[in-house]
Amino acid sequence: MKSLEELDKLRDRLQQEMKIRDKDYDVAITVSMGTCGIAAGAREIVKALLEELKQQGLNNVALTQTSCVGLCQHEPLLEVTRGSEKTTYVNVDQEMAKEIVRKHLVEGTIVKDWTAPKK
């Protein structure tokens, strides 16, 4: 950043990207962004999700974040919620995040190998 104008442009761009929080959506993706999630790479997961959602033309998906969910050993993790159905994906990397968008959101197929272990 070298000027206030650059900062204003960055703010405007980020606000546009984050408008997905302002409406009701068919699907929500929640990324765990506690310190453990961030240390494990959750910020990169959010970036990958934003890119893939845009590439797939999915405008009906809310991308949100939450704090630590107590599964630190499985970070980064994300939860896909469609209606009352919730699926938690664990140990997610950037490529997995993109594949989750393609398989789960576009094709409607849960990637069971990547989901949280059942209690």
Q: What structural domains does the chain harbor?
A: 24-114 (3.40.30.10)
pLDDT digits (tens, 9 = 90+) for 24-70: 678 999 999 999 999 999 999 999 999 999 999 998 899 999 888 88
Alpha helices in the chain (DSSP H): 4-18, 35-40, 42-56, 94-100
- pLDDT surpasses 90 at 88: yes
Question: pLDDT tens digit string along 55-64?
Answer: 999 988 999 9
Distance, in Å, from the CA atom of 97 to the CA atom of 116, rounded to the nearest integer, reads 14
Quick check: 10 pLDDT over 90? Answer: no
Q: How many CA atoms within 13 Å lie on the side-chain side of 64?
A: 15
